A and B are shown apart, each in its own frame.
Chain A
């Protein structure tokens, strides 16, 4: 069974601060995605990373895929209240079982 552990589980910081969320697994994934989910809504895809060591930037968000494709991180610079939400990483593999495996989630609260 592939498991994706996210840390921290909960994070509450002041607006303007920086933060990093981690997603770790003992399994290799062919690609990894990050989603953000707001209350009452389904998760919305933020980014997909495919290559080991890949770094993608989305405005104030920086996503990194580990060299071994087993872990990923999400860094937010100068957090804003609109960043509040549940952040989920999800790994996909094409080694026969093609379903997405979701991480345990990080609930982020940005305090104004």
Chain B
């Protein structure tokens, strides 16, 4: 079966702009989590969605938001981009409500200039 698909793979944006990233989970998976990965901070949890509801949230500013659709596809949005938002954004999907095994997509590499 198809894995987790993230689009786009690469993105270059200018400071102040906003960006929307997309994640299609594995078919049947209802939990989608988002992570930010940078060389200095490692893998940081952004938020998790389950059945269209945000269930967990990390310690990121309100500029970072997300949503999940009825087909479990998820999007995350970052508004008023800053240089420090440059990172690899990873999406992970899980089969059941407990995040016992996460399947990651290849990520979206966002560069803010």
Contact surface of A with B, Cβ cutoff 8 Å: 31, 33, 35, 40-45, 48, 88, 90, 92, 94, 97-105
Q: Which B residues are in CB contact (< 8 Å) with A35?
A: 104
- Contact status of A88 and B43, CB under 8 A, knowing A42-B105, A42-B106: yes
- A88 vs B4: C-alpha distance in the bound complex, in angstroms? 19
Contact residues, B74-111 vs A (CB, 8 A): 90, 92, 97-107
Does B42 lie within 8 Å of A102, measured CB to CB?
yes
**Chain B interface bracket (under 10, 10 to 19, 20 to 34, 35 or more):** 20 to 34
- Contact status of A42 and B4, CB under 8 A, knowing A88-B43, A97-B56, A101-B45: yes
Name the contact of B99 in the complex, choosing from A42, A88, A100, A103 (C-beta under 8 A). Answer: A100
Does B4 lie within 8 Å of A98, measured CB to CB?
no
Which chain B residue shows the least CB distance to A100? B99
Which chain A residue shows the least CB distance to B35? A102
Contact surface of B with A, Cβ cutoff 8 Å: 4, 33, 35, 42-43, 45, 48, 55-56, 90, 92, 97-107
Q: Which B residues are in CB contact (< 8 Å) with A105?
A: 42-43
- A40 vs B106: C-alpha distance in the bound complex, in angstroms? 7
Name the contact of A45 in the complex, choosing from B42, B102, B107 (C-beta under 8 A). Answer: B102
Does A42 lie within 8 Å of B90, measured CB to CB?
yes
A48-B100, A94-B98 known; 5 new pairs, CB 8 Å cut-off, are A41-B107, A42-B105, A98-B99, A100-B45, A105-B43
